[in-house]
Amino acid sequence: MPRDIRKTATSSERETLDEAYNDTAVQILDVAQALVQSRGYNGFSYRDIAERVGIQTATIHYYFTSKGDLAAALVARYRKRLGQRRDALARAAESPRHRLELYSSLFRALLIDNDQLCLGAMLTAEAASLPSEVVRETTRFFDDNVSWLADVIEDGRRSGDFVFADSPFMQARILFAALEGAMLMARAAKDVGMFSSIAQAMISQLQGISDA
Amino acid sequence: MPRDIRKTATSSERETLDEAYNDTAVQILDVAQALVQSRGYNGFSYRDIAERVGIQTATIHYYFTSKGDLAAALVARYRKRLGQRRDALARAAESPRHRLELYSSLFRALLIDNDQLCLGAMLTAEAASLPSEVVRETTRFFDDNVSWLADVIEDGRRSGDFVFADSPFMQARILFAALEGAMLMARAAKDVGMFSSIAQAMISQLQGISDA
DNA sequence: GGATTTCTATCTACCGGTAGATTGAAACCT
DNA sequence: AGGTTTCAATCTACCGGTAGATAGAAATCC
């Protein structure tokens, strides 16, 4: 049983993110996440993970008692990690618009790297066959993102960069919905440009209709 | 083997849609579709279908040789059916805006009735573990919808109802992406209002920024 | 410091259950 | 009677999960 898992030696970003996991556990999480994002929760087995990591399926159970546990750990980590990236990118960008562009490029990178979708979108689609614990964590993930976007958008309005009707929160929901939907469409069309152009147009629209 | 399947006695809408299927086959398709839209392709089994329809799993194989065949038939029917509904609603609505509202209410109905997502979105998410035949049909489904939306939006621009930058096609992609994403978010939030408000805002935005 | 004990991480072997699929016979229809 | 449809029985492959053993590192004892 995984009583009190301690880390051995991980580096840089991982250091702070996966502090509670040792190297094997991290590898399991990495592989599992890639599998969920490309095939969905019900689209892979413990065997798939074991083969890729080079361990036996029983070893996975040592770290994550059930598949639901594994999924829950996955979303928790994803949420945390994306939060850190949002913070980093907020510091790096000089304008609200630039912040939104960098943010959308996080999602674009998923598509480009491995034809993957957002973990949250994937698990929400399969919500009906998932442990409620996973579903709850997924909902929090959406809330996180919309809140952050609403803040950025409100900043943009204050600074005069953005002009729009409705509330910043509503605009945030709209933008996030469009990004998630655009990822689906880009995967269906096998064309990352589909995502990029939609993302760009959405951000442009925030600045008012006059400019293209 | 299902050589030449003929219908026995179906009614109204089904008559034209499922002309190639008899009653059992239609029931299989209906149940399977509901299952895909709530749990995903990999989230249900032949047993699930058989139990609900009241038949044996072997009977499903009689009509659809493989699970992939079943899924392909599902998307083909979905595509056809949604096409008919779009046509019907285009005749019923007096304005482009109204047409878009009725169109979005088709998706809202899915959420309300059974917490279901769009079949196309579901299958696209799981694309990596699906027969290529199914993926192809799903791509066509997206194209159908975007084309139709682009036509409606262009009509709206011509009549002066809509004002926007970019092309009608781009606006159609944006709107469709937002609708698909909004369905995901609404399911995650367990709040159909989340979908409705996003849909409404998207349609309003087409009319220019001045009005809320 | 050396022997003993405990703990960590992993393995092999296996569990009951279920997946999609096949076959061949029975039932049904007309 | 002959085609159509359904079923019961069965298959092979795999699912997630568990049991028990083991090697090696760490902690404890004397």
Q: Please provide the DSSP assignment of chain B as one string.
A: ---S-------HHHHHHSTT--HHHHHHHHHHHHHHHHH-GGG--HHHHHHHHTS-HHHHHHH-SSHHHHHHHHHHHHHHHHHHHHHHHHHH-SSHHHHHHHHHHHHHHHHHHHSPPPHHHHHHHTGGGS-HHHHHHHHHHHHHHHHHHHHHHHHHHHHTS---SS-HHHHHHHHHHHHHHHHHHHHHHT-HHHHHHHHHHHHHHTT-SS--
Q: Which residues of A touch B211 (CB under 8 A)?
A: 165
> What count of other Cβ atoms lies within 10 Å of the Cβ of residue B32?
24
Q: Above 60 in pLDDT, residue A7?
A: no
Residue-wise pLDDT for A47-92, tens only, equals 999 999 999 999 999 999 999 999 999 999 999 999 999 999 999 9
* Interchain proximity B185–A142, CB inside 8 Å: yes
Lowest average pLDDT, out of A206-210, B78-82, B169-173, goes to: A206-210
Round to whole Å and give the CA distance between A205 and A198.
11
Q: Using CB atoms and an 8 Å cut-off, which of residues 36-55 of chain B contact chain A?
A: 38-40, 42-44
What angle is formed at CA B75 by the lines to CA A33 and CA A188, rounded to 5 degrees?
Answer: 45
Calculate the angstrom distance between C1' of D28 and CA of A70.
35
Round to whole Å and give the CA distance between A30 and A26.
6
Residue-wise pLDDT for A23-38, tens only, equals 889 999 999 999 999 9
* Max Cα distance, chain A (Å): 61
Q: From the CA of B19, how many Å to the nearest CA of chain A?
A: 29
Residue partners of A17: CB distance under 8 A and separation at least 6: A77, A80, A81, A84
Buried b (16+ CB within 10 A) or exposed e, B49-61: bbebbebeeebbb
pTM score over 0.85: yes
Calculate the angstrom distance between C1' of C30 and CA of B5.
16
Nearest CA to A189 out of B83, B146, B166 is that of B146
The residue type of A134 is: V
CA-based torsion, B124, B130, B132, B133: positive or negative: negative
Q: Above 70 in pLDDT, residue B33?
A: yes
The mean pLDDT value for B93-108 works out to 96
| Domain A12-205 CATH assignment equals 1.10.357.10 | yes
Taking the Cβ of residue B167 and every Cβ of chain A, the question of whether any pair is shorter than 8 Å is answered with no
CA-based torsion, A14, A19, A23, A28: positive or negative: negative
Lowest average pLDDT, out of A16-25, A121-130, B67-76, B144-153, goes to: A16-25
* Interchain proximity A184–B43, CB inside 8 Å: no
Pair of tokens at residue A202: 């959405």
Cβ-based contacts with strand D at under 7 Å? A 44-48, 57-58, 61, 65-68; B 2-6, 22-24, 54-59, 62-63
Residue partners of A140: CB distance under 8 A and separation at least 6: A79
Q: From the CA of B141, how many Å to the nearest CA of chain A?
A: 10
* A107, A180, A200: best to mutate for the B interface, most B CBs within 10 A: A180
Instruction: Using a 7 Å cut-off to protein CB atoms, list the covered nucleotides of chain D.
Output: 4-9, 14-20
The mean pLDDT value for A155-178 works out to 95
Taking the Cβ of residue A212 and every Cβ of chain B, the question of whether any pair is shorter than 8 Å is answered with yes
